Amino acid sequence: MPLLFPRKIAAAALCALLLLRATPGLSQESGPVGPRADSATGAVSYCVDPDWPPYDSLTPQGQHVGIGGDLLRLAASRAGVPLALVPTKDWEESIGQSKAGACTLLNFLNQTPKRDAWLLFTEPLFTDPNVIITHEEHPFVADLAGLSNETLVLPKGTSIEERVRRDFPNLRILLTDSEADAFALLSRRKADLTIRSLTVSVHTIKTEGWFNLKIAGQIPGYDNLLRIGVLKGAPELRDRLNQAIATITPQERALIANRHVAITVQTGLDYDLIQKIVFAFTLVLLTSLFWIATLYRLNRKLAVASQTDSLTGLANRASLNDRFAKEIDRSNRHKRPLSVIMCDLDHFKRVNDRLGHLAGDRMLREFAAIARSSTRSIDVVGRWGGEEFLILCPETDAESALIVAHRLCEAVRGHAFATGWPHSVSGGVASLRPGDTVDSLLRRADEALYQAKHLGRDQACLQTPLALPAPARSPAL
């Protein structure tokens, strides 16, 4: 009996030792399969990339800051999981600590087949597209597979490196120790391009002043789905974090991201940017006003051209028809007189036949100038067609219109035409009667014109009910 108790103690100690060696996470041979907690606080240990702003970074005082830090703490708080940071000097050391089991959680990383070997992954905490960054002279990159003999620079240990080596073997890959080093090499043209997240790219270019770089494209399917990696021995912890992540709203994610992206934005007004915006706006406004004014002038010219005879510059037949109808309506409405004068250049065909059409055109232009100068400001002079002209005389009775017609005949008779020949014009005058239309008034003016022709030309006649019937036109006219 005296020896039995010590033997029981030894057996119990041996069982305890075996149990300890079989406990997940405590055996050096079993690997990082269980959560590791801080012995003093019971907090779950985690590692981050210490130099990946604005996602994750460590301050000189060892504080974890960034978008990833805020989202991790928010999810952990809602899951009721206390955290303990394991500081590292770079991302490679964080990966090594995670593989060794020193970090139960690895924050803000993409899921890859290699990482699946020792980690479970939560649902994405944050989604951000990857973009192609090049120097400013590099052409737009529509497809990385179409590039050749170009160097892609990437920080060590990123998921992008693993995917690019698999998908785009045509690219040479240059690895650097940090995100900033990758951008610096690209800025100094030691590399042709890099692939980084949009948020990180914008942040880095602004803070470091690398404005000779630009976003030159995007790779479909290469979005960053940034998650929390959990050691494989802690599926319950992963599930608790997933439940918490599901409660984070898009508005909360946007608020956190905007807060960190805006941290290094200049706090005062960027007057240079404002000046550029004002200048651009003014330039656009002036350009718009210029084109508006140009279009207005062109429309005015088109409107005038559509109403003007191109040879003489007088109103054309379309314009005369429009004005004629309006004048008849106005005269009938206000019981005011209206007269018209139909004019025809005598023996004009002889000018065309003997001197040519250019001489005839010049004679028409000369007559147009005479007609304008011989009529009143209220009269409307237009070319009716060929050598025929029509003059509308508002507020004018038959006798007054006949005086205007005689004055025109006299002016033509006394003008020295470029042909060197004497020329004359015949005119027919008619006044508006009750019930008249455009056609009936024109018909009576045309009858008066034929009366003037019948009486020997070079004169104007007033249409009367007793006017002679108009003879047939002579082929010489």
pLDDT confidence of residue 39: 53
Which structure tokens are listed for 198?
Answer: 């949009």
Percent of the chain with pLDDT over 90: 58
The answer for residues whose C-beta is within 8 angstroms of residue 53's C-beta and 6 or more apart is 66, 179, 200, 203, 204, 207, 260
In this structure, the number of other CB atoms found within 10 A of the CB of residue 410 comes to 15
Pick the closest to residue 216 from 155, 153, 148, 131 (CA basis).
131
**What's the rounded mean pLDDT across residues 343-365?**
93
pLDDT digits (tens, 9 = 90+) for 252-265: 998 998 888 753 33
User: Residue 244: pLDDT above 80?
Assistant: yes
* pTM score, whole prediction: 0.46
pLDDT confidence of residue 34: 56
Lowest mean pLDDT segment, chosen from 11-25, 162-176, 190-204, 290-304? 11-25
Whole-number Å distance between alpha carbons of 368 and 373: 9
**What's the rounded mean pLDDT across residues 367-380?**
92
CATH number of 130-222: 3.40.190.10
pLDDT digits (tens, 9 = 90+) for 321-349: 999 999 999 999 999 999 999 999 999 99
Calculate the average pLDDT of the chain. Answer: 84
Q: What is the second-level CATH architecture of the domain 26-127+225-265?
A: 3-Layer(aba) Sandwich (3.40)
pLDDT digits (tens, 9 = 90+) for 79-136: 999 999 999 999 999 999 999 999 999 999 999 999 999 999 999 999 988 899 998 8
* Cβ–Cβ under 8 Å, residues 155 and 92: no
Question: Which pLDDT band holds residue 214 (cuts at 50, 70, 90)?
Answer: confident
Lowest mean pLDDT segment, chosen from 192-196, 304-308, 332-336? 304-308
CATH number of 317-462: 3.30.70.270
